[in-house]
Amino acid sequence: MQQTDAAAALTITPFLTDRAAGNQNAHGNIYQAIGVEPIINCRGTFTIIGGSVERPEVLQAMEAAAGYFVQYDELAAAVGQKLAHITGAEWGLIASGCAAGIRHVTTACVTGGNPEKLVRIPNLSGFDKTQVIIPRSSRNVYDHAVRNVGVEIVMVDTPQQLEQAINPKTAMIYFVTGRAADADQPLSLETMAAIAAPWGVPILADAAAENLTLPPVHLARGATVVAYSGGKALCGPQCAGLVLGRKDLLISAWQASAPHHGPGRDDKIGKEEIMGMLAAVEAWVTRDHEQEWHNWLAILDDIARHVAPITGVTTQVAEPASLNNRAPSLSIGWDPEVLHITGEEVAEDFARKSPRIAVGSADDDDSASIRITPSQMQPGNAQVVAERVRAILTQKRTPRSKNMEPAGVDLSGPWDLTIEYSTSTSHHRLLLAQDGNWIDGVHESDFSTQDIRGTIEGNRVRLRSAASQPGDLVPFLFSGTWAADATTDATTDAITGSIHLGEYLTATFAAHRCQRQRPRRPITIPGGPPLAT
């Protein structure tokens, strides 16, 4: 996250000046103009690297919308009707992302369009509808959009549990589209709809990464509304989402969103994104999806032909039929014992060195692979990727020794762990057991207790644990060094280093061997029941 003084001093002005003058490459692209190196996207529509590339008609619509002022309620009504006409749904809503749309629909189900209730969220005291039912298989990091409204989450696994859970307090049923809700599954959408119908409980289908079907298949199967990401298959604005379904519910959801004041004000959607998203939906109807698929396959074929001659390398194209993240992909595989590199190491090399390339990876005991998805690759990317793959897989590497450096210390026992986050400090506890180079144990974090595993070579320590709850997981990847504490004596030691927290950035840590001694007392086992308590 740190930026050098030289990079911080850069501005986009020279780039914009050159672009206006037709001199496209003098200062690289707009991101390089401020010291940020772009990425060739061979992974698909991941938000962390920008989602999808907006289609030309989307950019044109956004630019055309920027020069005017409109009344937003009038705009929402016109767009809602237009989306209904295009998609075959009863109504449509454009929000500032799929998650925002889910949040607005949840709010609508809780408030019923009552603004006096709206402005009290997340305090649901006195509300009639305060519970949302979610199948356990649908719990995910994105259901924060539901939880943020303040509702009680009720998890179910079976139709019988759903029948028992649904009650007058049930505001909504939320589920993620996919295999678990297919018609042949126990808790299918059809089953949920049949159980929910007598209660009049709406069902929200989260289809964020799916291809749009016209009319929406999930509405036909029994969902009340369905939400899509604008920045994935639709190639609309990254900060836009599409919600389709029952008109009265989506009007209440619009009431709960910006520009209206209340809990959804922070999910503002601009007129430019609204019109850009509308253009993306219109374009979806006229796009030649079959030709796009053939173009993607051609990209993968070019890369496969380039790397297939490498001894020991195999290639295989997968063509999924499901709606979710629907795009072909190329798997490039090899034996890591022969090429002396793993798939994870290739992906890491591609991610950190220029030209940066995002690829998927997988590793087993006797195989390694990377996966290339072409749906967001741009003209010229295929050649760069093919050459990069060929270069790294033909590079001569020395076989790695399977012998680990002996451990320099035994870390077995309890440790007091202090973690320094960006603006706070947490105190955790480790209980470690060591067998040679291998470490197992327990990590007690702020709100949970979980297994921890890792290695020690010499004084270098690597540990991994993950704090989890339904829908969420926080990884702790410890990289540290053991040393005796010279400020006291050799019997006091510490492990210090950094923690990689996955998408939650980094922290630093210091673990000190616990010096507290619990008193040792004999234990007496009574010969019978107590005579007093």
Read off the CATH number of the domain in which 351 is found.
3.90.1150.180
Span 373-430, pLDDT tens digits: 999 999 999 999 999 999 999 999 999 888 899 999 999 999 999 999 999 999 999 9
pLDDT of residue 24: 63
Residue 15 has pLDDT above 90, yes or no: no
**Residue 71 belongs to a domain:** yes
Q: Read off the pLDDT band of 515 (50, 70, 90).
A: confident
Residue 2 has pLDDT above 60, yes or no: no
Q: CA-to-CA distance for 356 and 384, rounded, in angstroms?
A: 10
> CA nearest 373: which of 116, 122, 52, 110?
52
**Residue 337 belongs to a domain:** yes
* Better-predicted residue by pLDDT, 94 or 489: 94
Residues 15 and 70 in one domain: no
Residue 533 has pLDDT above 80, yes or no: no
Boundary (domain end) residue, out of 348, 366, 394: 394
> How many residues would you count in the chain?
533
pLDDT of residue 401: 83
Span 126-164, pLDDT tens digits: 999 999 999 999 999 999 999 999 999 999 999 999 999
**Residue 531 belongs to a domain:** no
Residues 277 and 303 in one domain: no
Read off the CATH number of the domain in which 435 is found.
2.40.128.120
**Residue 519 belongs to a domain:** no
C-beta separation of 79 from 254 below 8 A: no
Residue 23 has pLDDT above 90, yes or no: no
Boundary (domain end) residue, out of 268, 286, 304: 286
Residue 21 has pLDDT above 80, yes or no: no
Q: Read off the pLDDT band of 464 (50, 70, 90).
A: very high
Residue 58 has pLDDT above 80, yes or no: yes
Residues 240 and 338 in one domain: no
Q: What is the mean pLDDT of residues 325-337?
A: 96
* Better-predicted residue by pLDDT, 18 or 235: 235
Residue type, 328: P
Residues 60 and 195 in one domain: yes
Full residue range of the structural domain in which residue 387 is found: 289-394
DSSP-assigned states of every residue in 289-350: HHHHHHHHHHHHHHHHHHHTTSTT-EEEEE---SSBT---EEEEEE-HHHHS--HHHHHHHH
| Alpha helical stretches, state H, 66-143 | 72-87, 98-111, 115-118
> CA nearest 226: which of 81, 93, 73?
93
Helices 271-286 and 72-87, packing angle to 10 deg: 10
236's torsion region: left (phi>0), alpha (psi -120 to 50) or beta? beta
Burial 465-502 (b: 16+ CB within 10 A, else e): bbbeeebeebebbbbbebeeeeeeeeeebbbebebeee
* Better-predicted residue by pLDDT, 195 or 17: 195
Span 358-370, pLDDT tens digits: 999 999 989 999 9
pLDDT of residue 470: 94
Residues 452 and 484 in one domain: yes
Residue 487 has pLDDT above 70, yes or no: no
Residues 89 and 231 in one domain: yes
Span 273-292, pLDDT tens digits: 999 999 999 999 999 999 99
pLDDT of residue 25: 63
Residues 305 and 326 in one domain: yes
Residues 125 and 271 in one domain: yes
pLDDT of residue 11: 78
Residues 198 and 332 in one domain: no
Q: What is the pTM of this model?
A: 0.91
203-206/170-176 β-pairing: parallel
Residues 469 and 386 in one domain: no
Q: Read off the pLDDT band of 318 (50, 70, 90).
A: very high
Q: Read off the pLDDT band of 517 (50, 70, 90).
A: confident
Residue 309 has pLDDT above 80, yes or no: yes
CA distances from 228 to 225, 281, 338, 357, 525 (A): 10, 11, 44, 27, 63
**Residue 62 belongs to a domain:** yes
**Residue 44 belongs to a domain:** no
Count up the domains in the chain and report the number: 4
Span 61-115, pLDDT tens digits: 999 999 999 999 999 999 999 999 999 999 999 999 999 999 999 999 999 999 9
Q: What is the mean pLDDT of residues 445-465?
A: 98
Q: What mean pLDDT is reported for the chain?
A: 94
Span 207-257, pLDDT tens digits: 999 999 999 999 999 999 999 999 999 999 999 999 999 999 999 999 999
pLDDT of residue 492: 74
**Residue 217 belongs to a domain:** yes
Residues 444 and 506 in one domain: yes
Read off the CATH number of the domain in which 64 is found.
3.40.640.10
pLDDT of residue 3: 55
Residues 282 and 295 in one domain: no
Q: Provide the CB-side half-sphere exposure for 10 (13 A, CA).
A: 17
> CA nearest 501: which of 464, 469, 471?
464
**Residue 528 belongs to a domain:** no
